Structure 1
Amino acid sequence: MDQLAQALQALSGFLWGTPLIVLLVGGGIFFTCYSRFQLFRYFPHAIAILKGQFDDKDDPGDLSHAQALSAALSGTLGMGNIAGVALAIGLGGPGAVFWMWMTAIVGISTKFFTCTLAVMYRGKDSLGNVQGGPMYVIREGLGARWHWLAAMFAAAGLIGTLPVVQINQLTQVVRDVVFIPSGLVDPASPGAFNLMFGIFAAAVVGSVIFGGIKRVGYVAVRLVPMMVIVYMAMTLMVLALHLPELPGYLVMIVREAFTAESVAGGFVGVLTIGVMRGAFSNEAGIGTEAMSHGAAKTTEPVREGLVAMMGPVIDTLIVCTCTALVILVTGVWQSGGADGVSLTASAFAEVLPGQIGAWAIAFIVMIFASSTMFTFWYYGAKCLGFLIGAERQHYYRYFYVLLVVLGAVAPLEAVFGLIDSAYALMAIPSMTVAFMLSPKVMAAAKTYFANLSARR
């Protein structure tokens, strides 16, 4: 297993080289400049869309705007916000957080373009159902000669949407925070607990995902707001105790983004870790977000693009920043541990009395991980349906539930190496088609914004 973990980490390191960093960050800068920065003006309008002011139950699609965003956020708001941030700081130091911010800022425009295209170029699967996602955008927007690029995304998506990171970190925090301190699990041999917990989690996940995407949307629209509110309340409580120290740590994040020399291979290493973990967190340009927003009930592609661009703000600029500051102000990051969620749990345990902090973060991780696992099967099933036919895509659910069990017993390095590698392979076709069809998005946006101004 150690050799497999090393091989997957080596593959991830190769794929997340300079070309991919340029593709994601440079692509986001291009989309921001190409749209002339005007997208940032329409956040109030996006909020109005979320409130349902433009909903029409007769529009094509499966989810309302609010459900589509909640389903997307239930995929992004998860281990990237807790374990991913901790891993970024543990490996790259505080400066990695700055590059997570940059990925999110340019990711706002990236999500607008990719998710507008997901509705603009929805296609029909082999059963005649309307579907969205990069593979359908490529097929419908670029034509049959680009089918290989669509197949590349779908094949990588089968791996990238597996729940292995989520269940791995959920198992770890429940074991380390609840069962080991209680004396119910021997820390020297946790294998049996990991397996039993994985089987239990697989049963819970299966009970939700076999209900289909509408049940996922129903659950997500209730889980996501609650988990964000509870987690933000916890982090703000901790940060309030360290309020005078916050400006200094914010300065440290910016300074070490450019001056770090002793960690992660210097500046380039810190930048790479920050962008990698930022992409894992907010998924801008990866393509998973386009599959969720492509299911929205709307006939107006630009409208869904505006809703989608709120994702990186909520996910990375707000939630990830709060996690990072909690880890920094409590000082646990200096312990040298880079074991993901346990580092975040230790940060909360430092300031909240007794075991309250650790138990609270265990509960939050359970909600975050569960919401992501409830969502990701839908992405993988759509990818399988594209490759072998929608009439067979339901088989992915069985494979997915099995991987919940396997992810619980796999080492952290292996699961992150696997998912990071798949994300890299998903980003290439997702960003490529967004570049090629960006003039179509801008033409639609120009018409939409002109009509919006005329109505005011």
Structure 2
Amino acid sequence: MKNHYKIPMMAGALSLMASAAMAQSLDEKVNAIFASSTGWFVNLIFSPFPGTSFPWIVGWLVVAATIFTVYFGLIQFRAFPHSIALVRGDYSDPDDAGEVSHFQALATALSGTVGLGNIAGVAVAVGIGGPGATFWMILAGLMGMASKFTECTLGVKYRNEYPDGTVSGGPMYYMVKGFEERGLPMGRVLAVMFAIFCILGAFGGGNMFQANQAHAQIANVVGDYPGWITGIIFAGIVFAVIVGGLKSIASVTEKVVPFMGVLYVVTAVIILLMNFDKIGWAFGQIFEGAFTGLGVAGGMVGALIQGFKRAAFSNEAGVGSAAIAHSAVRTKEPITEGFVSLLEPFIDTVVICTMTALVIIITGQLMTDPTTGLYMVGEGGMIQTVDGNSGVALTSAAFSASFGWFKYILAIAVILFAFSTMISWSYYGLKAWTFLFGEGKGKEVTFKVIFCIFVVIGAAANLGPVIDFSDAAIFAMAVVNIIALYFLMPIVKRELNSYLSRLKSGEIKKFN
């Protein structure tokens, strides 16, 4: 009798094993197709200067951030207090045109930047570039504040305002209108190029990378299973939110972003306080590694490259994406949103990324080997990370070293980070899509469906091809955007001087 029961049970088990094997095979096929079709694009964006290992795109971002910092007279430091006042709503007029408040615009843009770049991205940076990469991340974040200020001011100034109260803005619009205002050619060509890259960036860094690392952390908690399952669940939830438009997105992000930020930062602060005696040593490692490389492959240059790459991927300063979200703010003063936006790289990179790096360094999760380079120490032993393919696992191991249960909290944080980033980038991609193909419900739904399909692809692919494509797509946006910013920054300076003179004279008054 027992054998009669065993046969169907064994058959069922074999069937489940076969299904699992087929599912994993599907993941592998998706990854192979994705990797083979995007390699040329990645190579183009990250090709180094001749005779060096320094990617030209990193130099492009560094030079731009430096120019904007000098041109606007260290605006990121001068305007910091007024930026806080604007976010509090001290100067907000509810009758101004726009869809969202200063705080909601900041939360929406932050939800697109404060994400897995702060968790997995930092781990990749220190896993390849060593502790010194943190120094360059901080420097990139501080300088990037000026880039963000420039692009978001222009985003509001040249936005389209529609009769129903909705707005569309971002680099596509200031490239067309701003160039026409200055009598410059090529504005529309740049706008089309940016829109194409923005859609690719939305599918890559704002979507697939998020889904990929969310699945990695969930699998780390519950056990390995096919990525496409996570992708389908995420796609359904994301679609349910983004179908409601920007106001729906803003109402979600203004709640999710503060919660997930506080959850993550408070845990990091507790760990740092528990290891207070090591903080000085950790900063010593960061500064020493920034200029020596501490024996890591590439030395100082390797640390610099990784620091700037991951900072740019995390805070997106100069990329132009945040200008799309900030364009929807309720204000009649474009420069005010420039002030608000410069807080993003500070919160994202200077605060959160630094905390992540400090926890990784202090908890002893990094060690160097003189023959093989840098390694990651995880719960299951030593895992080599010179190729950056472990991502969120290093951060999880670092936090779990102090709190064994933190991997469960991190799983929640990763899901929230990934979710909020995806819904924000869906809006960025949608605005680029409608710029190319026109406004209309049918066109919007088409984009949203395609976006959700890429959620599934991202969860199923391996991190290597996903992170390479994500970086390339987002940095391609920066190439076009920064060209436009160079031509239009005199307009921003004019707006800045006008606003500051009126603020000083008392013409601009508080509403609250």
How far 1:267 moved relative to its partner? 2.9
> What SS class does the counterpart of residue 29 from structure 1 fall into?
helix
Alignment partner of 1:396 is 2:447: yes
CA distance in 2, matches of 1:4, 1:377: 20
Letter paired with 1:377 = S
RMSD: 2.0
Structure 1 residue 269: deviation in Å? 2.9
Say which SS state the counterpart of residue 186 (structure 2) adopts: helix
Higher deviation after alignment, 336-345 or 381-390: 336-345
Percent identity between the two aligned chains = 38
Q: Structure 1 residues 253, 332: closer, same or farther in 2, change over 3 A? A: same
Specify the code of the residue in structure 2 equivalent to 1:74: S
Q: 1:47 to 1:114 in 2, by over 3 A?
A: same
Greater CA radius of gyration, 1 or 2?
2
Aligned to 1:165: 209
Match of 1:413 in 2: 464
- Measured after TM superposition, the shift of residue 128 of structure 1 is 10
Counterparts of 1:300 and 1:453, CA distance in 2: 15
What is the rounded CA distance, in whole Å, between the counterparts of 2:44 and 2:297 in structure 1? 15
Alpha-carbon distance between aligned partners in 2 of 1:37 and 1:53, rounded to the nearest angstrom = 23
> What is the aligned length?
443
Q: What pairs up with 1:108-147 in 2 under 5 angstroms?
A: 108-123=145-160, 130-143=167-180, 145-147=186-188
Indicate the residue corresponding to 1:435 in structure 2.
486
One-letter amino acid matched to 2:401: E
Decide whether aligned partners of structure 1 residues 263 and 39 sit closer, same or farther in structure 2, where only a CA change above 3 A counts. closer
The CA distance in 2 between the partners of 1:263 and 1:296, in whole Å, is 45
Partner of residue 353 from structure 2, selected from 320, 334, 343: 320
In structure 2, how many angstroms separate the alpha carbons of the residues matched to 1:374 and 1:138? 25
Q: Aligned equivalents of 2:309 and 2:412: distance in 1?
A: 26
Q: Following TM superposition, by how much is the alpha carbon of 1:288 offset from its aligned partner in structure 2, in angstroms? A: 0.6
The 1:81/1:271 distance shift into structure 2, 3 A limit, reads: same
Aligned counterparts of 1:127 and 1:424: Cα–Cα separation in 2: 34
Partner of 1:361: 410
CA spacing shift, 1:405–1:317, aligned 2, 3 Å: same
Match of 2:62 in 1: 25
Q: Which amino acid is 1:273 matched to?
A: Q
Equivalent in the alignment of 2:42: 12
Distance 1:128 1:315, change over 3 A: closer
Q: Secondary structure at the match of 1:55?
A: coil
Cα distance per residue 1:151-193 (max 9 Å; x no partner): 111001111012101111001101112x12xxxxxx4xx32xx
Once the two structures are superposed, the pairs formed by residues 25-424 of structure 1 within 5 Å of their partners are 25-123=62-160, 130-143=167-180, 145-162=186-203, 163-177=207-221, 179-180=222-223, 187=224, 190-191=225-226, 194-260=227-293, 262-334=295-367, 335=376, 336-337=384-385, 338=388, 339-352=390-403, 354=404, 356-391=405-440, 392-424=443-475
Tell me, which stretches of 5 or more residues in structure 1 are unaligned? 181-186
Gaps of 5+ in 2: 1-30, 49-54, 368-375, 377-383
Q: Please list the CA deviations of residues 387-441 of structure 1 after superposition, one character each: whole Å capped at 9, or x if unmatched.
A: 1112223311001111111111110011111111101210011111111111111
| Alpha-carbon distance in 2 for matches of 1:429, 1:128 | 29
1:56: how far off?
A: 2.2
Letter of the 2:278 counterpart: E
Q: Is the 8 A contact 2:196 2:432 kept in 1?
A: yes
Question: Which residue is equivalent to 1:183?
Answer: none
- 1:364-397 Cα deviation digits (max 9, x unpaired): 1111111111211000011111111122233110
The TM-score with structure 1 as length reference comes to 0.93
Q: Match for 2:360: what amino acid?
A: I
**Cα displacement (A) at 1:123:** 3.3
